[in-house]
Amino acid sequence: MNLKTVSTQPFSDQKPGTSGLRKSVPDFQKPHYLENFIQSIFDSIDSKDGSTLVVGGDGRYYNRQAIQTILKMAAANGFGRVLVGCDGILSTPAASCVIRENQAIGGIILSASHNPGGPEGDFGVKFNTSNGGPAPEKVTDAIYARSKEINEYKILEAADINLDRVGSFKLGTMDVEVINSVDSYAKLMESLFDFPRIRELFTSGNFRMCMDSMHAVTGPYAHEILEGRLGAPEGTVMNGKPLEDFGGGHPDPNLVYAHDLVEILFGSDAPDFGAASDGDGDRNMILGRNFFVTPSDSLAVLTANATLVPGYKNGLSGVARSMPTSQAVDRVAQRLGIDCYETPTGWKFFGNLLDADKATLCGEESFGTGSNHVREKDGLWAVFFWLNVLAVRGDSVEEIVKEHWKTYGRNYYSRHDYEEVDKERAMDLMAHLRSQFPTLPGQKLGNYEVEYADDFSYSDPVDGSISENQGLRIGFTDGSRIVFRLSGTGTKGATLRIYLESYEPDSSKHDLDPQEALAPFIEIAEKIAQIRQFTERNEPTVIT
Ligand code: G1P
Ligand code: ZN
């Protein structure tokens, strides 16, 4: 086996976004493109000699090839051991779990999350640090800086490793262990949730569930845990085989893309509970029979019911949500007397709060929920949490959420996305909006008075770091909000996200369609941001 040093030239576009470096597959297939970025990661890890690295991905097209390259580069860069998921599969939360369990120095997760896959689809590389969480900004900045200077990378010339089954191999002096992708994660779930109680629910004959893995990474996990350990009947998991192109679908668990599941849950003879997860298994959607739970509400409900679950029976140290996520959980936190943190968009901002035990549960409006059990959001974890709550309370999903609204009031919430908008025009829209900020406060827009208009900036309470320009917020005196952000994960043009929220304490008004309830704010958003004119679109691409 030969250690090779290959000369290369920097690429100028390897800046990690909200969640790692995400590009189209053809971009990643350019000669040296993947290698440059991997070497830039390795160069930014101190004392990697002899250390353990975790590698796995969501099974999308190019996953296997990329893993072989990464293994050979890891061997050439002095790592002592790499743990890699069988078939190259590790969901994002499972990778986080394996990193933590094995005191690894970090992990590389290959995924473009919910973006479509296949030869013309997207691919991505995420680097997680030793706490199991996404690399914080200072690390991704260092990786980016390195990627702009890199002139060589190291790789071992060796045969490919067989990833098809569990086994141990040597690459040069480095150990490669192909591990069962599900085991560690399943054990962790078993330690948090009341499996016997959930099993009873499934075997009672009075409860049916449908889990849509969307031909993405959670298939093997859901089959093993739901149908295996929890006794759900075979067939509970649909689209459970990970496919390189996700069966041609868009593995994003929302009402638009998880349409198979939505049809079943909103059809006649619908099951009691439905859930879906995304490409890499960190997102979740929760449905009841004919009922959709917004991710923001899900976070609030889980927080309010946490002590029913063994892993959280002693209560929560605090909660955290991303800024655009609705303020429903704030109300629960207030009643529980615990802190509620508001962070910028992206799971990496929760890491410090979790490490410092300032927050136990975290969530984002973008179908992400999780806790301190790992350092990623975790789609199946949210499903088991809901199952545990359903098993203990014996109420339906709809009853639980409606009762929650009765207690805390309802935060009507919706996100309007304009995808693949011209980048310049999207930036102009933001600039135009920002230019009105000095004069907006105090103005009456429709029936609502603007209380503040600002560009969200976050000061991390643990390490004091400051993250600026995290979204434009317009808040009204009644607590309603409109937030504008440009996506940091899109790969084509710009994606404009508009987040709308209003609060309704009166339970006789809790049955409106959110688009109807939010109509005045949709109008205000158009008026102040001239969305149609700037995006040249008449309506959003996706409404969630
Ligand atoms: C999106 C979501 C964000 C999430 C991220 C990764 O990022 O909005 O909440 O953390 O994907 O799943 P965005 O495209 O908005 O930057
Ligand atoms: Zn994801």
Ligand 1 pocket mutation pick from 58, 252, 342, 345 by most atoms within 8 angstroms of CB: 345
Q: Are 107 and 54 in contact (CB under 8 A)?
A: yes
Ligand 1, atom 8: closest residue by C-alpha? 366
Rg (CA), the chain: 23
Q: Are 293 and 255 in contact (CB under 8 A)?
A: no
User: Which residues approach ligand 1 with their CB closer than 6 A?
Assistant: 18-19, 113, 322, 345-347, 364, 366, 368, 487-490, 497
The reported pLDDT for the residue numbered 145 is: 97
For the chain, 544 residues long, give each residue's pLDDT as a single digit of tens: 799 999 999 999 999 987 899 999 999 999 999 999 999 999 999 989 999 999 999 999 999 999 999 999 999 999 999 999 999 999 999 999 999 999 999 999 999 999 999 999 999 999 999 999 999 888 999 999 999 999 999 999 999 999 999 999 999 999 999 999 999 999 999 999 999 999 999 999 899 999 999 999 999 999 999 999 999 999 999 999 999 999 999 999 999 899 999 999 999 999 999 999 999 999 999 999 999 999 999 999 999 999 999 999 999 999 999 999 999 999 999 999 999 999 999 988 999 999 999 999 999 999 999 999 999 999 999 999 999 999 999 999 999 999 999 999 999 999 999 999 999 999 999 999 999 999 999 999 999 999 999 999 999 999 999 999 999 999 999 989 999 999 987 778 899 999 999 999 999 999 999 999 999 999 999 999 999 999 999 999 989 9
* Ligand 1 centroid to residue 194 C-alpha, Å: 31
pTM of the shown model = 0.94
Q: Is 7 a catalytic residue?
A: no
Decide: residue 25, CB within 10 A, 0-12 exposed, 13-18 middle, 19+ buried: middle
The reported pLDDT for the residue numbered 105 is: 97
The reported pLDDT for the residue numbered 53 is: 98
Decide: residue 145, CB within 10 A, 0-12 exposed, 13-18 middle, 19+ buried: middle
Q: Which two tokens stand for residue 33?
A: 């493109």
Q: Are 399 and 447 in contact (CB under 8 A)?
A: no
